[in-house]
Structure 1
Amino acid sequence: MENPKYSFHEIIRVQEQLLRQRREAINCSLALIERVQLLTEQDQFNESNSEILMLLMNSMRVEEAQKKLLQEYVSIDIIDQVFPEDISKQTHIDEQLYNLLLLVHRAIVNDLTPDHPFIQQQLHGLFADTPLRNIMFNDKVNNEELYKSVKPYEALVPKHTMDFLKEAFEVLNTKNNSSLQD
């Protein structure tokens, strides 16, 4: 019998590392499921549908990559506000994202355009107290760079939803910038 390339202890160590990585992935998946379940339990109108829930889970799944991306554009304090460790704060952020996706879903179902006053009012309300508000509305140069960096994540969102959001935010951004100049 030939000598193996790896010792028994090395094989065990590698197997342990792989199992720990799998455990971490399972724990992350369970945490995502718990967050989505919490949102659906709090849904007073029972409006959630599988598309919205899958969008939420996809967004949650890439949060670490989103944090790294944002580090180039905003301070760590803002990132900590957008992705808080505190469960109640995270639930609030999850609710905002859920409400945004639900707003787009309702708008599309009811044939409301992105510039419709109701949509704009709701978007303004959702983002009035968000930590990203200043970068979203005041920093045109960084916004363009950020939008380029976000491009790969657009594939996680259905095209009709992404198109609606882009147009709605362009209208909101234009309104906010014009009101700042007044």
Structure 2
Amino acid sequence: MLSCIGYAVGFGAFWRFPYLCMRNGGGAFLIPYFLCLIFCGMPLFFLEMVIGQFSGLGAIGVWNVCPLFKGVGWAMLVMSGLVTIYSNMILGWVLYFLGLSFTSSLPWATCNQTWNTPLCVEWNGMDPNVTATFRNTSATFSNVSAPQARHGVTPAEEFWHNSVLKISGGIERFGEFRWPLVCCLFAAWVVVFLCLFKGIKWSGKV
């Protein structure tokens, strides 16, 4: 059951779905979504489960029933490998943020860190008249100049870009190794290994 849920529900369900829903008509988007889910998604998912359960074979061996489509099995294998690589990178980021969330003051909460720029801005509430604190500056929202308001960056965004990823100035600059992220990525792969080292059948019992 856990293996099936893991295949059916991915990161995109939590990240992209609300964005896609808002961009494509809000609640109206749910009508074609559920129609496709009921008439396409669920039958195909059921078909895949039934064929896998009946044959007891992997993504490549199952196509012995129709060797013409064996390339589909290889494509599935390659896609699973690529998804595993980027999913583990995301898991590494999750572990990194999880570790930092146990600190007394969150590093992405304020604009007083070394990686913050003058464009960093803290919104201290939802009311447009409350104080917005820029780095080394404090001004009410109504007094913030148009360029500042347009280009203001939250401390969380600057923490992500300037501290966690340390994005370089261009693709021609490789930047540096982020050793904390390397360690978190290694820990993520260790978790995957511990889930799978006794075989895929064992992981379904966890």
| TM-score, scaled relative to structure 1 | 0.26
Larger relative contact order, structure 1 or 2 (CA cutoff 8 Å, min sep 6) = 1
Larger helix proportion of the pair: 1
The structure with more strand, counted as a fraction of residues: 2
- Output the TM-score relative to the length of structure 2: 0.24
